[in-house]
């Protein structure tokens, strides 16, 4: 971006590794099938607006077929199967994900718009890691602290968003299968392709038919899954608004629910922090995956004494980020996932201008086609501004300052959400004190956006309930 720097030569990853079909059916009972009452829609590459494929939007009859297949498979095959046998299938999926990782990474970047560097180095390795991790649990459930013989719930209806399409699917499918449940997965409308490739991997791994089913479509398909009485548990990741509607729908039924919703995390930098390390953490916190991250560090809280230094260093660092072709191996910032999301980011950034914050972006040429938004920093932000309160879900950072640790805690907790937080300081005692005060499911210290399958993840308050990952993640799928 900065004109004084040497330009990078293009270094695109080849698309040839991906075999796109012109159109995709639904994955039900181990096969790709034509819809009964579904229609077709297009999925596009958000960096070019090129149509990638036609995908099926499943109707209620299609959802019913998938739930029926899942229910039969659960009762007849998967539930009764010994855990050590189920584990073998999970290990097989994990190894196939590793073997086909380049194909999965390229497909994910094509359909989602995220940089290949991220899908290749973060998303797909974590997908494999999740399957490996939960494979290890499958024969040890009686030792999970959930009673001597915890039982599966039955059929899990799993609804995931578009920001980490395959990773969110893995977070849901791996623990469900390890615990003897079967699944009907509903990927997001704008990013269905990697879940369909995972369905091929499920076939390749020779999972018994019906154990994993994939029904693509938009919100109505998700709603049909929530409505289906044969679904014993809904696991939902998405917006707080839809999560609340699902909770209302399931209230009073015996069907179980976990919700992983939005966030507005504080990334808190104290004056004794290693500043250049903190700047890397701020960049990773909000510009990773174009800020399409539920736990993004979207509010920077910086101690007043170092605010100018930190913001200055941050701006210099942002000058070096490269925005453009998601398949280019040098790209740091890819495309915004959809025109709808781009409109939302523009509207919220506009409210920042209107309410009196100061907007800054590095010099940056946006491609002509596709959906793009430059990395953006707002200073002079007041806690009451919408950009300090509402989840933007884009590459937009709001900077606020504080003077004392108490003020940092008060400002950090001044949100309806509670998913994550970051603390940057040299003092171990302060890290522990802050972690106790912060009302957030995850608190990172001197790092940010670090994920591991062994570590539980989830929220407080309007960020949802239930934990995914780690031993805690088993609880959501077992009747102790």
Query: If binding is defined by CB under 6 A, does position 226 make contact with ligand NAP?
Result: yes
Binding segment (CB under 6 A) for ligand NAP, from list 18-26, 60-68, 69-77, 153-161 = 153-161
Query: If binding is defined by CB under 6 A, does position 262 make contact with ligand NAP?
Result: yes
Query: If binding is defined by CB under 6 A, does position 186 make contact with ligand NAP?
Result: yes
Binding mask 449-478 vs ligand NAP (x if CB under 6 A, - otherwise)? ----------x----x--------------
Binding segment (CB under 6 A) for ligand NAP, from list 134-142, 214-222, 307-315, 408-416 = 214-222
Q: Smaller CB distance to ligand NAP: residue 180 or 394?
A: 394
| Count of other CB atoms within 10 angstroms of residue 14 | 9
123, 332, 390, 391: which one binds ligand NAP (CB under 6 A): 391
393, 402, 424, 477: which one binds ligand NAP (CB under 6 A): 393
Binding mask 394-433 vs ligand NAP (x if CB under 6 A, - otherwise)? -------------------------x--------------
Q: Is 13 a catalytic residue?
A: no
Q: Smaller CB distance to ligand NAP: residue 223 or 323?
A: 223
Q: Provide the terminal-to-terminal Cα distance of the chain, rounded to the nearest Å.
A: 55
Binding mask 270-309 vs ligand NAP (x if CB under 6 A, - otherwise)? ------------------------x---------------
Count Cα neighbours of 26 within 13 Å in the Cβ-side half-sphere. Answer: 32
Query: If binding is defined by CB under 6 A, does position 38 make contact with ligand NAP?
Result: no
> β-pairing, 464-465 with 256-260?
antiparallel
Query: If binding is defined by CB under 6 A, does position 136 make contact with ligand NAP?
Result: no
Catalytic residue among 13, 118, 294, 364: 294
Binding segment (CB under 6 A) for ligand NAP, from list 140-148, 239-247, 372-380, 470-478 = 239-247
Rounded Cα distance between 297 and 420, Å, is 8
Query: If binding is defined by CB under 6 A, does position 189 make contact with ligand NAP?
Result: yes
Q: Is 294 a catalytic residue?
A: yes
98, 101, 239, 330: which one binds ligand NAP (CB under 6 A): 239
Rounded least distance, CB 55 to ligand NAP, Å: 11
Q: Smaller CB distance to ligand NAP: residue 437 or 449?
A: 449
Query: If binding is defined by CB under 6 A, does position 162 make contact with ligand NAP?
Result: yes
Question: Which residues of the shown chain bind ligand NAP in the complex (CB under 6 A)?
Answer: 159-163, 186, 188-189, 218-219, 222-223, 226, 237-239, 242, 245-246, 260-263, 294, 391, 393, 419, 459, 464
Active site members: 260, 294
């Amino acid at each position: 971006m900065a004109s004084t720097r040497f330009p990078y030569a293009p270094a695109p990853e080849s698309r040839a590794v991906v075999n796109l079909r012109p159109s995709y059916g639904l994955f039900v009972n181990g096969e790709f099938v034509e819809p009964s009452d579904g229609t077709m829609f297009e999925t596009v590459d958000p960096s070019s607006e090129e149509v990638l494929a036609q995908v099926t939007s499943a109707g209620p009859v299609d959802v019913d077929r998938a739930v029926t297949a899942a229910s039969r498979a659960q009762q007849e095959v998967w539930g009764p199967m010994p855990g050590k046998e189920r584990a073998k299938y999970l290990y097989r999926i994990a190894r196939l994900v590793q073997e086909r990782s380049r194909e999965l990474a390229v497909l994910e970047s094509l359909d989602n718009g995220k940089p290949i560097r991220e899908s290749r180095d973060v998303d797909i390795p974590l997908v494999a890691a999740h399957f490996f991790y939960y494979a290890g649990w499958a024969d040890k459930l009686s030792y999970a602290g959930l009673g001597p013989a915890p039982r599966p719930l039955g059929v899990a209806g799993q609804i995931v968003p578009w920001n980490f399409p395959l990773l969110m699917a893995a977070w849901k499918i791996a623990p469900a299968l390890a615990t003897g449940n079967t699944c009907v997965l509903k990927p997001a409308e704008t990013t269905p392709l990697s879940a369909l490739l995972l369905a091929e991997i499920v076939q390749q791994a020779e999972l018994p038919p019906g154990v994993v089913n994939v029904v693509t479509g938009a919100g109505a398909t998700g709603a049909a899954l929530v409505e289906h009485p044969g679904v014993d548990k809904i696991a939902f990741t998405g917006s707080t608004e839809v999560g609340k509607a699902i909770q209302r729908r399931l209230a009073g039924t015996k069907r179980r629910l976990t919700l992983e919703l939005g966030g507005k995390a504080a990334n808190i930098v104290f004056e004794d922090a290693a500043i250049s390390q903190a700047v890397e953490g701020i960049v990773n916190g909000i510009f990773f995956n174009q800020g399409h991250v539920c736990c993004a560090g979207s509010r920077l809280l910086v101690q007043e004494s170092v605010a100018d230094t930190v913001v200055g260093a941050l701006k210099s660092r942002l000058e070096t980020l490269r925005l453009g072709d998601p398949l280019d191996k040098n790209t740091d910032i890819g495309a915004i996932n959809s025109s709808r999301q781009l409109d939302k980011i523009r509207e919220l950034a506009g409210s920042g201008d209107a309410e009196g914050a100061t907007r800054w972006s590095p010099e940056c040429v946006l491609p002509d086609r596709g959906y793009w938004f430059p990395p953006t920093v707002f200073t002079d932000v007041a806690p009451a501004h919408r950009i300090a309160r509402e989840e933007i879900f884009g590459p937009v950072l709001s900077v606020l300052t504080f003077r004392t640790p108490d003020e940092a805690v008060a400002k950090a907790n001044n949100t309806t959400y509670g998913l994550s937080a970051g603390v940057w300081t040299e003092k171990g005692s302060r890290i522990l004190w802050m972690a106790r005060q912060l009302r957030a499911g995850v608190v990172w210290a001197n790092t940010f956006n670090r994920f591991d399958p062994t570590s539980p993840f989830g929220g407080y308050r309007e960020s949802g309930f239930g934990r995914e990952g780690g031993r805690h993640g088993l609880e959501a799928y077992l009747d102790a």
